[in-house]
Structure 1
Amino acid sequence: MAETILVTLIIFSSIFGIIFTFLTTRNKERLALIENGADAKLFNSGKKYSFGQFILNIALLAVGVGTGVLVGAMFENAGLEEGVAFSSCIFIFGGIGLMVSFFLNRKLDKEDH
């Protein structure tokens, strides 16, 4: 019981420490750039990620994983070991789904500009 609590505290304190360090370092860096005369537009130069693109990524990943499960079941019925069939097909088809979403997002970005 005590080990579980200790591990949980260590995990959450590590996550908090990483996020805190990232945010304070970013803030100090931005303040130093502003003090040296950098333009504030420098911080907003990144591409905004829309909610539609996020949903498209998740949807195509889910379709890929679902297809991987189906193909894994077919491979299992064909005689391949269960763990190998399912895990390999899930990763392969999930990766294909993410690649398709990447190219679709890139095509949609080109159409917007």
Structure 2
Amino acid sequence: MQEEILIPLIIFSTIFGVAYVYLTTRNKERLALIERGADASLFNSGKKRGLGSIVLNLALLAIGIGIGVLVGAGLEQGGMHADVSYPASIFIFGGLGLVVSFFVDRKLEKE
């Protein structure tokens, strides 16, 4: 009975703790750089990813996972065990979807 309450509490508190430490450390680093006279544009030098790029990555990942499920079902019908065929094909085609997403994103950046 206690595990039903304790496990989600531990998970969410861990996520909160990691996010809190990350944000406070980043803030302290930025304040220290500003105190030393660093230019504020230093913080904006990172690559900006738009919503379209994130949606593209997720869409191609979902397409890869869907193809992986279909291939896994085909392999299962061909005689391979479902415990092997589904996870293997999902990871392979999900990874291929992410690789395709990387190249498409890189091509869009050049334009």
Give yes or no for TM over 0.5. yes
Provide TM-score, normalisation by structure 1: 0.94
**How far 1:8 sits from its partner (Å)?**
1.9
Give the Cα–Cα distance (whole angstroms) in 2 for the partners of residues 3 and 85 of structure 1.
33
Listed as ranges, the gaps of 5+ residues in structure 1 are none
Give the Cα–Cα distance (whole angstroms) in 1 for the partners of residues 3 and 73 of structure 2.
39
**How far 1:6 sits from its partner (Å)?**
1.7
Aligned partner letter, 2:9 = L
Q: Which residue does 1:52 correspond to in 2?
A: 52
Q: Which residue does 1:5 correspond to in 2?
A: 5
**How far 1:62 sits from its partner (Å)?**
1.0
**How far 1:80 sits from its partner (Å)?**
0.5
**How far 1:2 sits from its partner (Å)?**
1.5
Give the Cα–Cα distance (whole angstroms) in 1 for the partners of residues 50 and 16 of structure 2.
27
**How far 1:58 sits from its partner (Å)?**
1.1
Give the Cα–Cα distance (whole angstroms) in 1 for the partners of residues 7 and 80 of structure 2.
38
Runs of 4+ aligned structure 1 residues displaced above 6 Å come to: none
1:36-90 Cα deviation digits (max 9, x unpaired): 0000000000111111111111111111111111111111111100110111001
State, as a whole percentage, how many aligned pairs show the same letter.
Answer: 64
What SS class does the counterpart of residue 37 from structure 2 fall into?
Answer: coil
Aligned partner letter, 1:89 = S
1:84-108 Cα deviation digits (max 9, x unpaired): 0111001000100000000000000
Q: How does 1:1-113 map to 2 (within 5 A)?
A: 1-111=1-111
Give the Cα–Cα distance (whole angstroms) in 2 for the partners of residues 68 and 3 of structure 1.
35
Provide TM-score, normalisation by structure 2: 0.96
Aligned-pair Cα RMSD in Å: 0.9
**How far 1:3 sits from its partner (Å)?**
2.1
**How far 1:10 sits from its partner (Å)?**
1.5
